Amino acid sequence: MPIITVRRHLHDLKIDCPAGETILSALEGSECLPRADCGGRGACGLCRVRAEIGTALPPTPRDLAKLPPPAIARGIRLACQARPTRDLAISLEAPRNRSAWTVIDDLPPPLRPEGDPGGVGLGIAVDLGSTNIRLSLLDLASGRRLAALRGHNPQCRYGSDILTRISHAHRDAAVGERMTTQTRRALGEGIAALFDRAAGGTAGRHEVTRLRLVGNTAVLTLLAGAGSEALLDPDNWSRHVPCRLGDPAPWRRAWRLDDGADLALCDSLSGFVGSDLTAGVIAAGLTRAPAPAMLIDFGTNTEIALWDGATLWVAAAAGGPAFEGSGISCGAPAETGAVHRVTWPAAGGAPSLGVIGGGPPLGLCGSGLIDAVAGLRHAGIVAASGRMAAGVPREGWALSEGAAGPAAGPGLRLSRQDVDALQRAKAAVAAAAVLLMRRAGVPGSALGCLMVSGIFGRHLDLGHAQAIGLLPSAPACRLLPVEDSALRGCERLLAPDGARLQAEIEGVARAINLAAEADYEDIFVDQLRLAAFV
């Protein structure tokens, strides 16, 4: 049996690799795990490892398709494709961030219901996103937030897009069980970290009287271990797909909560339009804003709500992983080391890169990708069609030199394939927005307020997003970022009147199934251009 030695700063890690297994599967469950967002299919190109000289692995067809020649020459391979036949020493080019939970220290204050009915004990709000988990602990009587943390959703390793995860779970029940178990365990670790953080650890889990969990329909049904297969049928995409925990007792035991704690998944609006959008609508006050107003919650599964004064039109667009920095040759999640801002000097020249946490740039997250493409578009280096100007090297436009991390070669380079991935992601979202406005009878020029949420939306330069046609550019439209809308809306649902408030949103919502709309594909093609639209 081959032994894989993972080179690390402090000490090496040795792992057995059964014959025929890939490096990625051998590392599964260890403390050394590369990023992998496609379930090991070789589609994301993220699980890059470097074999030491003398032990290099022959490149597979997937390696050749996903890795540039300089990376191949340096011994870079995809861990999901490499099957060692003898002992091997490797290093991880893009390790998964294993820091369990980090503090959300810039979260706006909790929303308090009018009349302040309060509550008893402590409440836990959870926003289970496709990529990240965000959760907070509230004193229900005072409305004071005691702690708020974010961490990684372990479902990501089975696919960056949620349909891939559902397909894996549908084909192999054991995979579905692992997703449920791993996500439940991650939530338990997050809850433990909340109490460690809150008031120096003086708060007790026995004081939790209520827990509410919001998310898109896919991640909730995969957590619950039931119902996700319904989403494989497009006919269900505009129908209600129930999200239920079943017997809450095992969940209370797993999370060490009192037997009387009220636990619930907040139900979705329909198909892929989840309760995270319901929570976002509540936090943004969308149905109280002057109509027409729109909320876009960006993510791998982007959800959109349009309020026309009487009806809340909602839809979900498969924006894909580009907004999360996945599927991009120089991509990175919005974590320490990721470039979240690209500033282009007016006089020309190299751009300056804003890096989360400082230090060397490790890759572009979604907002940095938007900035980079908008700047290249403005400079004429990228055309509206996405084609790069003559003279740009085959490996792409150099944004930086000598970068470390997942970018192979001399630095961060934006390739034509990266621009194409962004075009498809932005076209899916823009086409959904256009179609909702058409169905509601709202001219684009009449849109008075556009609210943007999601981790991607948090760093997004709204002007750049409008310039490339990701967001509508109606002349009188106000652009408003909404911080942590799903988590803050979930906190609001912890109040005694939370169920009534959720029912009010459900009562005015009308879901549009984009797959059933005959003109969606034509609108999508129109929106592939990197140009502003109204």
Strand ranges (DSSP E) for 17-161? 48-51, 76-78, 88-92, 102-103, 122-128, 132-139, 144-152
Q: Do 78 and 155 fall into the same domain?
A: no
Q: Do 118 and 151 fall into the same domain?
A: yes
Q: Do 209 and 257 fall into the same domain?
A: yes
316 in any annotated domain: no
Q: Do 169 and 272 fall into the same domain?
A: yes
Q: Do 242 and 377 fall into the same domain?
A: no
Q: In this structure, what DSSP letter does residue 530 have?
A: S
Mean pLDDT of 430-442: 94
Residue 200 has pLDDT above 70, yes or no: no
Q: Which two tokens stand for residue 38?
A: 């496609």
Number of compact structural domains in the chain: 3
Q: For position 19, what pLDDT does the model report?
A: 82
Q: Do 121 and 254 fall into the same domain?
A: yes
| Residue 402 CB coordination number (10 Å) | 10
Q: For position 406, what pLDDT does the model report?
A: 38
Q: Which two tokens stand for residue 255?
A: 């999370």
Element holding 488 (H helix, E strand): helix 485-493
Compute the radius of gyration of the chain from its Cα atoms. 23
Identify which has the larger pLDDT, 335 or 185.
185
CA distance 147 to 195: 8
Q: Per-residue pLDDT tens for 131-164? A: 889 999 999 998 899 999 999 899 888 877 788 8
Q: Do 109 and 198 fall into the same domain?
A: yes
Identify which has the larger pLDDT, 514 or 20.
514
**CB distance 197 to 145 below 8 Å:** no
Calculate the CA 123 to chain-centre distance.
Answer: 25
Mean pLDDT of 256-267: 94
User: Which domain-ending residue is among 414, 448, 469?
Assistant: 414
Identify which has the larger pLDDT, 100 or 20.
20
User: Which domain-ending residue is among 276, 299, 320?
Assistant: 276
Q: Per-residue pLDDT tens for 363-418? A: 888 889 999 999 999 989 999 999 999 888 888 888 886 544 333 344 788 889 89
Q: Per-residue pLDDT tens for 40-65? A: 778 777 788 888 765 668 899 988 88
66 in any annotated domain: yes
Q: Per-residue pLDDT tens for 307-348? A: 999 999 999 998 766 777 777 878 887 778 889 999 988 767
| Residue 401 CB coordination number (10 Å) | 11
Q: Which two tokens stand for residue 364?
A: 């572009």
Q: For position 220, what pLDDT does the model report?
A: 94
User: pLDDT tier at 201 (50, 70, 90 boundaries)?
Assistant: low
Q: What is the pTM of this model?
A: 0.81
515 in any annotated domain: no
Instruction: State percent of the chain over pLDDT 90.
Output: 42
Helices (H), 307-413: 366-378
Q: Do 119 and 209 fall into the same domain?
A: yes
- Considering only 63-72, 240-249, 287-296, 323-332, which range has the smallest mean pLDDT? 323-332
Mean pLDDT of 86-97: 78
119 in any annotated domain: yes
Identify which has the larger pLDDT, 94 or 426.
426
Identify which has the larger pLDDT, 99 or 217.
217
Q: For position 318, what pLDDT does the model report?
A: 81
User: pLDDT tier at 29 (50, 70, 90 boundaries)?
Assistant: low
Q: Which two tokens stand for residue 420?
A: 């194409």
Nearest to 451 by CA among 430, 477, 429, 480: 480
3-state secondary structure of 363: strand
Domain that holds residue 112: 102-276
163 in any annotated domain: yes
290 in any annotated domain: no
503 in any annotated domain: no
Residue 100 has pLDDT above 90, yes or no: no
- Considering only 43-57, 242-256, 421-435, 466-480, which range has the smallest mean pLDDT? 43-57
User: Which domain-ending residue is among 414, 438, 460?
Assistant: 414
Q: Do 82 and 120 fall into the same domain?
A: no
Q: Do 142 and 172 fall into the same domain?
A: yes
Residue 254 has pLDDT above 80, yes or no: yes
User: pLDDT tier at 124 (50, 70, 90 boundaries)?
Assistant: very high
User: pLDDT tier at 286 (50, 70, 90 boundaries)?
Assistant: very high
Would you tell me the crossing angle of helices 485-493 and 498-508 to the nearest 10 degrees?
120
Pairing of strands 144-152, 76-78: unpaired
What rounded mean pLDDT belongs to the chain? Answer: 86
| Residue 441 CB coordination number (10 Å) | 9
Q: Do 24 and 120 fall into the same domain?
A: no
243 in any annotated domain: yes
Q: Do 78 and 109 fall into the same domain?
A: no
CATH number at 21 reads 3.10.20.30
DSSP-based helix, strand, coil % in the chain, nearest 5:
35, 20, 45
CATH number at 256 reads 3.30.420.480
Question: Which burial class, exposed, middle or buried, applies to 115 when counting CB atoms under 10 A from its CB (0-12, 13-18, 19+)?
Answer: exposed
Mean pLDDT of 188-215: 86
Q: Which two tokens stand for residue 58?
A: 């022959």
Q: Per-residue pLDDT tens for 497-517? A: 999 999 999 999 999 999 889
